[in-house]
Structure 1
């Protein structure tokens, strides 16, 4: 497993602040050469599966977001997960505890027919149980970074790298499909490469990208193996919290460095969170000492993540 030093971690944090920042700018802010930044970036791509990806923020892009939990017959879960990964409407897919449960994040236009939820999944013979939970509100996650990868830069460095977006932003349209597909493959693709992918001029690409970023409709995220960052144990946490306490509890959880996602959801579990911890003992400590101290959490289900089959970038 790759070992990360202070420069690697600072570069990862810098790319979260601005995934398209030029290496010269990142080098200036970090106090290292452009060549060092480029060399470290290539190493992280090769050894830590690092990718910068451009993604729509579902809450700002007019999309409905769902967490679909599937239970499959033995020996079929992995094949089913890989089949789901090939679909355009699945954002990320995780193989869960026991190897027979799959959790799928589905993002579709709010006005779509939700064919994956209503037609395709029920017709799959190997699936023995399905539950679909709409995410009503993200408290943390998406444009926010898991603190395990965004804790290396000081306030001045963050300010120097933060893009100066102005204006109300623009919604996504069907004309943006080619642009978004290209950004999801490589968020650092050049304007010339994006122009080739869209058939637009480089100037048009630059203007459209600025419009989409200005209001947060599109953001740039990182895919990276969390293990080199100190997180070898992952779990999805499904919590039942009374509506009167939901907002308060969710906001408190959003400040926990162990969590990469906190969202209100439909179903008997009203909150879902994604925990990343150094090991099983650390997860146990988090559950018993941090979450256990919150009396408003009435029930808690912990579903360990065995493997990430698909990450957000490969939609």
Structure 2
């Protein structure tokens, strides 16, 4: 898990710009924010190195041949949720692993080619994780929104003041 890092309004604006267009150049970001390109480059690298920012291409898995998307609710033995999260995070099929409250201790999103692949992931990989007690699968029938640009520009900074 990433430790909190001090970010200022410029950092938040860089993240917002890259969420909107991950291929935007440092020069364009710098122009938009009124800062030197070297600052945009340095700040972006620092955000990446601290684990705050990851720049990736996001595809709709259902549109490119992965027919089985599922959210899996997982119950763990007491005190084992973090260990289970770490093990699930190592599986290439997991795209999202979180520790939660409520009915499940952990939720994981898996992306698989087909039902055979999904069955293999759950039965042969997940069920063997120490501390994992049970799973409940929720298949995605349709994806209506796959987005990661959730508006960091509107998140208050340490002073409680919104950056936009």
SS at match of 2:145: strand
Matched, 1:213 2:48: yes
Partners of 2:87 and 2:129 within 8 A in 1: no
How does 1:59-78 map onto structure 2 within 5 Å? Answer: 59-60=2-3, 62=4
Matched, 1:274 2:109: yes
1:302 and 1:214 map into 2 onto residues whose CA distance is: 34
For residues 197 and 282 of structure 1, do their structure 2 counterparts lie closer, same or farther at Cα, with a shift above 3 Å needed?
Answer: same
1:292 and 1:212 map into 2 onto residues whose CA distance is: 35
Cα deviation per residue 1:89-135 (whole Å; 9 max; x = unaligned)? xxxxxxxxxxxxxxxxxxxxxxxxxxxxxxxxxxxxxxxxxxxxxxx
Matched, 1:251 2:77: no
2:45 and 2:131 map into 1 onto residues whose CA distance is: 42
With 272-281 and 243-252 compared, the bigger mean Cα shift is at 243-252
| Structure 2 unaligned spans of 5+ | 152-164
Q: With structure 2 as the length reference, what TM-score do the two structures score?
A: 0.73
How does 1:162-201 map onto structure 2 within 5 Å? Answer: 171-201=6-36
2:78 and 2:19 map into 1 onto residues whose CA distance is: 36
C-alpha deviation, 1:178, in angstroms = 2.5
SS at match of 2:117: helix
1:238 maps to which residue? 73
2:146 maps to which residue? 310
> How many residues of Structure 1 are paired with residues of Structure 2 in the alignment?
150
SS at match of 2:107: strand
C-alpha deviation, 1:198, in angstroms = 1.0
Partners of 1:258 and 1:276 within 8 A in 2: yes
Q: Which of structure 1's runs of 4+ aligned residues deviate more than 6 A? A: none
Matched, 1:204 2:39: yes
